[in-house]
Amino acid sequence: MKLEASTKPVNVKKTKRKAKFKSTLKSMWKYKTLYFIALPGFAYFIIFKYIPLLGSVIAFQDYSIFKGISGSEWVGFAQFEKMFSYSEFLRILKNTLLINFYDLIFAFTAPIILALLLNEVRKVLAKRIIQTVVYMPHFLSWVIISGVFIGILSPSTGLVNQVVEFFGFDPIYFLGDESYIRSIIVGSGVWRDTGWGTIIYLAALAGINPNLYEAAEVDGASRWQQTWAITLPTLLPTITILFLLQIGNFLDFGFERVYVFLNPLNRENGEIFDTYIYHVGLLQNQFSYTTAVGIFKSVVGLVLLVGANFLSKRATGNSLY
C-alpha cells in the first residue's frame, strides 16, 4: 500500500507531461504552415549563431589550426591574462568606448530629432521627398561611403578644404590627422543611417491619436508644448527599446565601418576591438587570443544590457524583458 501511495503522484505528473506534450504537438500541427515559414529563420540562427558558439572554447586553449580543438593544448585563462597585460589594450578599449559613446550621443539622437521635425511638415509631398533623400544613403556600402567622405575631405580637391581655403586658412589633411578620425567615423554613420532610424520613429508617431493634439490645441498648448507633453511620451517606449538594443552592442561597433577609414596616420585614435581582432587574429593567426577578446566584448555587452534593462524597468517601466 505504501508503494502504491508513493508512485501515484509520479504517475499523475507523467500523465500531465504527456498531455502537455500532446497538446504542444497538436498546436504545432495546427499552425504547421507558420512553423514551416519560420524554419529558414530557425536554421539561420542555429547554424550561424548557436553552433559557432561551441568554437569559443579555443579562448581557453593554445589553439593550432593543424591540431584542431580536440588536439590543442588547454591553457585556462592564459589568453585573458595576455589580453589584460597587453600594452595597447587600454588604448584600444579607450578608442572603442569613446567612438561608441559619441555614436550613442549623436547617431542615436539624430533620427529622433529628424522624425520630430518631419512630423511637423504639413506638405505630404515634401515630407516624402525629404524622407526618401535621407533614407537613400542606408543602401550604400561602407566602401562607397568611405570613398565619398575621402573625396569630400581631400586636402587638394575636397569640398571642405576648398571652403577652408576660401576663408584664407591652410587645407587640412583630415584622414591624416588622428584627432579627426573619431569625428569622421561617427559623422559618416550619422549621414548613412539617420534616415533608416527615422522610419521607425515616424511609424510610432503615426499611431498617435490626433484627438490628443486637437484637445491640447484647444487648451492653448503651443507646438513645443504638444511635442513635450504628447509626442515624446508616446515615443518613449520605442526610444527605450532601441536604446537598450544599442547598449547591448556597445563594444561591437562594426569592423567595416572603421576599417575603411583607417591608415597608419590615424590608427592611434581609430583602431577598435573589431579591427584589432582582424589584424591580430586573421593576419597573425592568434585565434585563441582574439577569441578571448571577443568573449570579453560579449560579456561586457551582456552586463551593460542587463544593467540598462534593469534601470529602465525601474525608471520608466519599459524594458526588453
Write out pLDDT tens, residues 63-114: 988 888 888 899 989 999 988 888 888 899 999 999 999 999 999 999 999 9
Indicate whether 204 and 121 sit together in one domain: yes
So what's the pLDDT on residue 46? 93
Q: What is the pLDDT of residues 224-277, one digit of tens each?
A: 888 888 888 888 888 998 998 888 888 888 899 999 999 999 999 999 999 999
200 lies in a domain? yes
For CA atoms 174, 257, 138, 251, give the dihedral sign.
negative
Indicate whether 45 and 94 sit together in one domain: no
Indicate whether 69 and 154 sit together in one domain: no
Indicate whether 46 and 123 sit together in one domain: no
Q: What is the pLDDT of residues 180-237, one digit of tens each?
A: 999 999 999 999 999 998 999 998 888 888 888 888 888 888 888 888 888 888 888 8
Domain of 193, in residue numbers: 87-315
320 lies in a domain? no
Indicate whether 98 and 44 sit together in one domain: no
* Structure-block grid coordinates of residue 240: 527605450
CATH of the domain at 288: 1.10.3720.10
Q: What is the mean pLDDT of residues 129-144?
A: 91
81 lies in a domain? no
Q: What total of structural domains would you count in the chain?
A: 3
321 lies in a domain? no
Indicate whether 70 and 120 sit together in one domain: no
So what's the pLDDT on residue 114? 93
Indicate whether 123 and 263 sit together in one domain: yes
Indicate whether 35 and 176 sit together in one domain: no
152 lies in a domain? yes
So what's the pLDDT on residue 9? 53
So what's the pLDDT on residue 53? 87
Q: Is the distance from CB of 320 to CB of 311 less than 8 angstroms?
A: no
So what's the pLDDT on residue 2? 47
Q: Is the distance from CB of 238 to CB of 198 less than 8 angstroms?
A: no
